[in-house]
A and B are shown apart, each in its own frame.
Chain A
Amino acid sequence: MCKRLLAGVLLAATLAIGVASAQPAPTTPVSGFNPTTSASSEQKLLGTLKQIDGRITIPDRKAAVLEQPAGRDWRDFQRGTIPKLAAVAVLGMLVVLIAFYALRGRIAIEGGPSGRLIERFGAFERFVHWMTASSWVVLALTGLNVAVGRHILPGLIGEHAFAELSDIGKLAHNYLGFPFALGVLLMLFIWVRHNIPNGVDITWFRQGGGLVGRAHPSAGKFNGGQKAVFWIVVLGGGLIAASGFVLLFPFYITDIAGMQTAQMVHGVLALLMIAAMLGHIYIGTVGMEGAFEAMGNGQVDEKWARAHHDLWVAELEARKGAAE
């Protein structure tokens, strides 16, 4: 009984304090009321934040972003930087390669092939290379179509055929990202031990890799240039794949600003990698006699191998000698 009384007194006291503190403040005269003194201001919000977020009653969370003017900067990047970079990277590289071919011609095996063959790449290595390469070619072409296709193709094939082509291209681009990424990962595992940069590579680059001048600088299984290609593919290709997956699953990984950045990284790196790969394709096919066979059937001429990968041949022979 006593307890209950005490509780009642306490409750009454609490209520009394509550009421007292809720006393209305002196009222402001209506004439002096200015509803904008604390009103949300667009300019103030955009000045401090990159985007204006609010609350929304529909379930679509991303619709709560009222305004993100950064979209206009992204637009300028797509309209200015990307087509310019595409032109320089693709056309510029082609011009360089044609000029190089005109000056240097096809690099021949000195004195002709020996006819003795050495296995350079096994079946699995070649499979990984071609899986990555074939998906890369489709990815590069469909990607270039997204980047600059609208400036070239509608005039040639008509806007409907172009839209149809781009639709198929988009699907191919979305799905082929997976075999490409898998290929890059497998390449990292099977070739990383041959691609650690060392002192031999410095000499190789100093002598122009044998491309400039007639020297045949020493090289292991992979020369300095090939190591550069390896790291461009693994690091560049890896980042391109990662940023691509961010875009493939919209709003799962990041927000609109993050996706804009991902697309910019994806586009710039891909264009640079296209330029690098054009060089790689050139030297592996028309640029050098005896080079394509390495990835073609995996067998290279012994003379070619001695000229370009002397340390690798020596290593093979030492291993063979040890086995016998």
Chain B
Amino acid sequence: MARMKFLCDADRCIECNACVTACKNANEVPWGINRRRVVTINDGRPGERSVSMACMHCTDAPCAAVCPVDCFYTTADGVVLHSKELCIGCGYCFYACPFGAPQYPRVSNFGSRGKMDKCTYCSGGPEGADGSAAEYATYGANRMAEGKLPLCAEMCSTKSLLAGDGEIIAQIYRERVTKRGYGSGAWGWKTAYQETVDV
């Protein structure tokens, strides 16, 4: 089975935020929740780079390890999902997540954050049949069940954000770096997957 990953080629990202918009539209996420975001490093200075970031679906995911109710699981595609039925909204996954992926519908007062929401790699969730209305309402789209990749990567205007089998997208990135002669690396890969894309 393929091991699904995200790779953001920061040398191509133009910070258009189309991935963010695509994600919001595909999953109908509530106001205030951002499953994906674009962060710009050294904004306005030489060497500025933008990186589109969401849940990286880590190997040995920190969120899953620290969850007090053990509500996370990894799919056969290597996608890290969680059950909103079990989630108690304690916020531990946010402390553990290296990428700030977990989102909560409510913030502040006495730690009642509501059920955590995060990128599902457009794979739906555990409750409800694949592609059902119930699944969509709770977890968003299940494009993977339809044989499609996450919409953020599919809609990326510069093909900076790559989704798919980790081996294949790493190969695509390697070829790009070889051809153009530079690359600032696969952001987050070392932290998420304990590996880098060497060229």
Contact partner of A52 among B34, B38, B41, B185, CB < 8 A?
A: B41
A71 to B51, CA, bound (A): 19
A60 to B71, CA, bound (A): 25
A57 to B43, CA, bound (A): 12
Determine if A150 is an interface residue (Cβ-Cβ < 8 Å): yes
Name the residue on A nearest B91 (C-beta). Answer: A250
Contact partner of B108 among A34, A149, A249, CB < 8 A?
A: A249
- On whether the beta carbons of A64 and B39 are closer than 8 Å, the reply is yes
Determine if A43 is an interface residue (Cβ-Cβ < 8 Å): yes
- On whether the beta carbons of A68 and B98 are closer than 8 Å, the reply is yes
Contact partner of B37 among A63, A163, A259, A263, CB < 8 A?
A: A63
Residues on A with beta carbons closer than 8 Å to the beta carbon of B98: 67-72
Nearest CB in chain A: distance from B62 CB, A: 4
Determine if A198 is an interface residue (Cβ-Cβ < 8 Å): no
Contact partner of A79 among B40, B66, B108, B110, CB < 8 A?
A: B66
- On whether the beta carbons of A75 and B69 are closer than 8 Å, the reply is no
- On whether the beta carbons of B86 and A63 are closer than 8 Å, the reply is no
Residues on B with beta carbons closer than 8 Å to the beta carbon of A34: 181-182
A53 to B86, CA, bound (A): 32
- On whether the beta carbons of A54 and B65 are closer than 8 Å, the reply is no
Q: Which 4 A-B pairs have the closest CB atoms?
A: A75-B62, A54-B39, A38-B47, A36-B182
Residues on A with beta carbons closer than 8 Å to the beta carbon of B95: 71, 74, 256, 259-260, 263
Determine if A45 is an interface residue (Cβ-Cβ < 8 Å): yes
- On whether the beta carbons of A63 and B100 are closer than 8 Å, the reply is yes
- On whether the beta carbons of B86 and A71 are closer than 8 Å, the reply is no
A69 to B99, CA, bound (A): 8
Determine if B160 is an interface residue (Cβ-Cβ < 8 Å): no
- How many residues in A have their beta carbons less than 8 Å from beta carbons of B? 59
Question: Restricting to A114-173, which residues have a CB under 8 Å from any CB of B?
Answer: 145-147, 149-150, 154, 159-160, 162-163, 166-167, 170-171
Contact partner of A78 among B32, B53, B65, CB < 8 A?
A: B65
A42 to B40, CA, bound (A): 12
A42 to B47, CA, bound (A): 12
- On whether the beta carbons of B90 and A146 are closer than 8 Å, the reply is yes
A54 to B53, CA, bound (A): 12
Residues on A with beta carbons closer than 8 Å to the beta carbon of B188: 42, 67
Using CB atoms and an 8 Å cutoff, list the residues of chain A in contact with chain B: 34-36, 38-43, 45, 52-58, 60, 62-72, 74-75, 78-79, 145-147, 149-150, 154, 159-160, 162-163, 166-167, 170-171, 174-175, 247-252, 256, 259-260, 263
Given contacts A69-B98, A160-B86, contact A74 B110 (CB under 8 A): no
Determine if B49 is an interface residue (Cβ-Cβ < 8 Å): yes
Given contacts A39-B11, A167-B88, contact A71 B41 (CB under 8 A): no
- On whether the beta carbons of B184 and A74 are closer than 8 Å, the reply is no
Determine if B25 is an interface residue (Cβ-Cβ < 8 Å): no
Question: Restricting to B155-199, which residues have a CB under 8 Å from any CB of A?
Answer: 181-185, 187-188, 190-191
Nearest CB in chain B: distance from A155 CB, A: 11
- On whether the beta carbons of A58 and B65 are closer than 8 Å, the reply is no
Contact partner of A74 among B32, B66, B67, B187, CB < 8 A?
A: B66
- How many residues in B have their beta carbons less than 8 Å from beta carbons of A? 58
Name the residue on B nearest A244 (C-beta). Answer: B111
- On whether the beta carbons of B40 and A55 are closer than 8 Å, the reply is yes
Using CB atoms and an 8 Å cutoff, list the residues of chain B in contact with chain A: 10-11, 17, 20, 32, 34, 37-43, 46-51, 53, 62, 65-71, 85-92, 94-100, 107-108, 110-113, 181-185, 187-188, 190-191
Nearest CB in chain B: distance from A68 CB, A: 6
Given contacts A41-B185, A63-B34, A79-B66, contact A252 B108 (CB under 8 A): yes
- On whether the beta carbons of A57 and B100 are closer than 8 Å, the reply is no
- On whether the beta carbons of B41 and A57 are closer than 8 Å, the reply is no
A69 to B39, CA, bound (A): 16
25 A/B residue pairs, CB under 8 Å, sorted by A: A34-B181, A35-B182, A36-B182, A39-B11, A39-B182, A42-B185, A42-B188, A52-B39, A55-B39, A58-B37, A60-B32, A63-B39, A65-B39, A68-B98, A70-B98, A71-B96, A72-B96, A146-B92, A150-B68, A159-B70, A160-B85, A170-B88, A174-B111, A250-B94, A250-B108
- On whether the beta carbons of A74 and B112 are closer than 8 Å, the reply is no
Residues on B with beta carbons closer than 8 Å to the beta carbon of A174: 110-112
- On whether the beta carbons of A54 and B112 are closer than 8 Å, the reply is no
Residues on B with beta carbons closer than 8 Å to the beta carbon of A79: 65-66
A34 to B49, CA, bound (A): 14
Nearest CB in chain A: distance from B21 CB, A: 11
Given contacts A38-B46, A154-B70, A174-B112, contact A66 B39 (CB under 8 A): yes
- On whether the beta carbons of A175 and B11 are closer than 8 Å, the reply is no
Name the residue on A nearest B184 (C-beta). Answer: A39
A56 to B41, CA, bound (A): 9
